[in-house]
Structure 1
Amino acid sequence: MRTAQALRAVASGGTGFSAAGRCALLALLLCLTLAGARAAPAVVLTVQSAIGPASADYVIRGIARAHQQGAPLVVLELDTPGGLDSSMRQIIQAILASPVPVATYVSPPGSRAASAGTYILYASHIAAMAPATTLGAATPVAIGMPGAPQAPREAPKGPTPSGDAPAAGDKAPPASPMDAMTAKQVHDAAAFIRGLAERRGRNAQWAERAVREAVSLTAAEALSEKVVDVVATDIPDLLNQIDGRSVRMASGDLRLATRGLATEAHPPDWRHRLLGVIANPSLALILLMIGVYGLMFEFSSPGFGVPGTVGAICLLLALFALQLLPVNYAALALILLGFALLAAELMAPSFGVLGVGGVVAFIAGGLLLFDRDVPGLGLPLPLIFGISIATGAAVLLGGGMALRARRAPVVSGVEDMVGAWGEVLHVADGQAWAQVRGERWKVQAGTPLVVGQRVRVVDLRGLVLHVQPDTDMPSPSREPP
């Protein structure tokens, strides 16, 4: 506004400058105006994975940075199967409190905004989809030990098996605790998305069906049902279609001016990509396994250093990942118990009892650690069984080697020296030396020894062999039987 007033003042000649000065000042103001227009493009954020702590931090920081840069619009390109309820709510809270309008755009074609993505789409100031995209299936799934879904119980209709009509006061049996918990979650989610729909003026009835019945819509159906505002082929088409629309912000209504608006992509940086990799449940389990076994190896064979260092780093990263993810702590305890039993099998072989128990505990913990029905959080079964089989095979191999080593004859040490034969090499000043097993030893005997005499070791005390001469043994040139 002030720039336009200055331009009109310069053009009218009311500033006191000469014609050349007015032209120069006019050119400068035009350059500043164009530079200011180019300095505030729309910010494009991209989420193409399950909604989790990494994506929530990325979106929240992206909206804050767009506000700092003075961006007129944030376009959130979305392609997600769903994710964590806590992370989804953080994103929605950031969108509702954003001073910059947010347009969520389900793109590219073939993408989806399922489960948590549907809530984010409803919360956005502008909801848009590309052709051949879908949204819906927003029923919440509980984290933990899933129970079998059960249909709602109804009061019996018609005569009872005994032939009597049902009493007027008969009611359906009370729901189990698991059914009650599921019903509470569904009711809460339905009320939440219905509130978002009413705030943005979208189809609240279908939103509730998406939660209670897990229904889905294509882009064209969503537009006709007034679930989304725009179906656009790309971001420039989206900006042209929403130009002039009025959106409700926290500070009041705002009219969008987006036609021909430039865009600036802000993809996830290395920090968010690393956070997304670490928060992967499969990698968290692998890091936990490496960390525990690395520390166990270091404690059993101290001094090497590398297993302990690598194990400590991996264990800390695994604990960080488990902090970000919703963990069933009973399952985590089973996994740690499995590690302990497998380590005990290595330290004290028990013919496979501890090893089998450790493998069973590890498999049970891996199956229950995360709910496999939640998008992006399930541990793949091949990974769980692969780690378990590999660990069990290593334990059985190590235990077999330890058992064979225990049964093998002793080839060194005190036990091997007792009973060995030798030959006296030198006798002087009451001290004698003999050659035993190719080595020169100081020897003592209860009777005087002579050079060349055959002796048999009966004891080892320090570095002195106590021997017993035997004149009945073969000559020194032959080895005794």
Structure 2
Amino acid sequence: MFNRKFCYTVLLIFSPLVFLLSLTPFTSAKNPHVNVAKIDSIINPVVVEFIAESIERSSKDGAECLIIQLDTPGGLDLSMRKIVKNMLNADIPIIVYVSPGGARAASAGVMITMASNIAAMSPGTNIGAAHPVTMGGQKIDKEMEKKVVNDAVAYIKSIAEERGRNAKWAEETVRKSVSVTEKEALNLKVIDLIAPDIKTLLLEINGKKVKTAKGTFTLNTKDAEPVFINMGIRHNILNILSNPNIAYVLMMIGFLGLYFELAHPGVIFPGVIGAISLILAFFAFQTLPINYAGILLIVLAIILFIVEVKVTSFGLLTIGGIVSMLLGSLMLFESPVPYLRVSWAVLIPVVLGTSALFILSATLAFRAYLSKPTTGMEGLVGEIGTAKTEILQEGKVFIHGEYWNAYSDEAIPEGEKVRVLKVDSLWMKVERLA
């Protein structure tokens, strides 16, 4: 009875409090907030998804604006265009802040900065060098290059004019790859302001009117609290996989795993690791400019290594495999920009290590082929035993813990050491050990 009365009393006391808490929002209207999404990698499909989710979240949680803190060397053209499209059609103000000191907005980063409602840079940063590059290593003629450049110029000029920025400079950064510091960018009206940190940035943009897809919006950021939106585990993993070096290493691990599983059926572990690695590698290839001729050359190299183990070619197949793997690795991510290529520091050790493994396998297989048998009847040839009886035309010998019928071309006294010359069914031909 006491317990029941006590529970009723607790419920009566706390029920009004729970009701009041349910009516009270966690974010007070008197304390506005802004969301900050940090991008410090190349522009790829993972970044597209992250920015799209950040825009959607900011629209729903009542943020005053979304600040994209940017530091990028550039990235994929298609990914950049998707981000710009999302920014131009966003319901909330979007501020691009090139930060911290030492950061840059290069290539695709220029387009993204231009597409913001307000563009800001931190001291010690730069922006520019937006000349388009071809991905996949293919070379284009002058006429096609002209078309690509003109398309990029028209695109960046339309963005600059839409946001009221310097369209002439925008054209130059595409045609001539010009790049400027934050002070030069401000003087050229490429950006709107310079701010050393986010707190100063929020004070500077407070009260500014910006045009969004929903109409004109006045920023109230004086006392706004910055809320940082971080990439989740999924985004971080996908972003890591999109690194050409990681994708390349995963592919090589995958091929090696499948090879060892085929060479030693039933081990299972190498096959599982190899299959998982290949799946992850080919997922990453969807986000990177791939030259499939490079993949075919690497596959050819693996085939040549496997054949070398089975067929003795005195190293010719191994040499062909090494050359094929090196060429395939160089061609795989052949691109004018370094962040979309495999690093030499990764490529050389992987090629040498993989080649060394297959050379070792081929060497062991060749030695096994040349060595005499160690099991069965043939394995007894050359072994040493003891004559247990006198051997004239026939007798008994003891070898490897067994008695055998033996014969010899010479008389051998009992107790003498003998060497096996031949094994024929249950008979051994032996000779006296000199």
Q: Same fold (TM over 0.5)?
A: yes
Once the two structures are superposed, residues 26-77 of structure 1 have per-residue CA deviations (whole angstroms, 9 ceiling, x without a partner) of xx9xx96995326751000000111112222211111111112121200000
Instruction: Tell me the residue number matched to 1:19.
Output: none
CA 1:187–1:309 in 2, change beyond 3 Å: closer, same or farther? same
2:254 paired residue among 276, 291, 314: 291
CA distance in 1, matches of 2:124, 2:97: 13
Whether the aligned pair in 1 keeps the contact of 2:386 and 2:399 (CA below 8 Å) is no
| Unaligned residue ranges in structure 2 (runs of 5+) | 1-19, 390-394, 408-413
Instruction: Tell me the residue number matched to 1:253.
Output: 216
Once the two structures are superposed, residues 202-247 of structure 1 have per-residue CA deviations (whole angstroms, 9 ceiling, x without a partner) of 1111001100100011111111111111111211211121122221
Instruction: Tell me the residue number matched to 2:341.
Output: 378
Instruction: Tell me the residue number matched to 1:350.
Output: 313
CA distance in 2, matches of 1:290, 1:209: 44
Aligned-partner SS, 2:48: helix
Amino acid across the alignment from 2:93: P
1:98 paired residue among 90, 93, 101: 90
CA 1:111–1:458 in 2, change beyond 3 Å: closer, same or farther? closer
Once the two structures are superposed, residues 441-463 of structure 1 have per-residue CA deviations (whole angstroms, 9 ceiling, x without a partner) of 67699xxxxxx8999786565xx
Rg larger for: 1
Q: What is the RMSD of the two structures over their aligned residues, measured on CA atoms?
A: 2.9
CA distance in 1, matches of 2:82, 2:379: 71
1:434 is displaced (CA, Å) by 6.0
Residue-pair matches, total: 402
Does 1:341 pair with 2:333?
Answer: no
Aligned-partner SS, 2:28: helix
CA distance in 1, matches of 2:305, 2:125: 48
Aligned-partner SS, 1:371: coil
| Unaligned residue ranges in structure 1 (runs of 5+) | 1-27, 148-176, 427-432, 446-451, 474-478
Instruction: Tell me the residue number matched to 2:132.
Output: 140
CA 1:143–1:271 in 2, change beyond 3 Å: closer, same or farther? same
How many percent identity over aligned positions? 38
CA distance in 2, matches of 1:64, 1:49: 21
- Map 1:40-119; keep pairs closer than 5 Å: 40-119=32-111
Whether the aligned pair in 2 keeps the contact of 1:434 and 1:440 (CA below 8 Å) is no
1:418 is displaced (CA, Å) by 5.6
Amino acid across the alignment from 2:244: P
Aligned-partner SS, 1:264: strand
CA distance in 1, matches of 2:360, 2:271: 23
CA distance in 2, matches of 1:199, 1:360: 52
2:400 paired residue among 419, 435, 438: 438
1:222 paired residue among 185, 193, 201: 185
Aligned-partner SS, 2:314: coil
Amino acid across the alignment from 1:59: I
1:423 is displaced (CA, Å) by 7.4
1:295 is displaced (CA, Å) by 0.8
1:403 is displaced (CA, Å) by 2.7
CA 1:71–1:441 in 2, change beyond 3 Å: closer, same or farther? farther
Amino acid across the alignment from 1:309: V
Aligned-partner SS, 1:81: coil
CA distance in 1, matches of 2:30, 2:398: 93
Whether the aligned pair in 2 keeps the contact of 1:43 and 1:66 (CA below 8 Å) is yes
Amino acid across the alignment from 1:85: D
Whether the aligned pair in 1 keeps the contact of 2:31 and 2:223 (CA below 8 Å) is no
CA distance in 2, matches of 1:142, 1:301: 43
Does 1:128 pair with 2:91?
Answer: no
1:375 is displaced (CA, Å) by 5.0
CA distance in 2, matches of 1:186, 1:387: 37
- Map 1:256-295; keep pairs closer than 5 Å: 256-295=219-258
CA 1:34–1:402 in 2, change beyond 3 Å: closer, same or farther? closer
Amino acid across the alignment from 2:315: G
Superposition TM-score, scaled by structure 1 size: 0.76
1:396 is displaced (CA, Å) by 3.1
1:377 is displaced (CA, Å) by 1.1
CA distance in 2, matches of 1:435, 1:316: 60
Does 1:180 pair with 2:143?
Answer: yes
CA 1:131–1:333 in 2, change beyond 3 Å: closer, same or farther? same
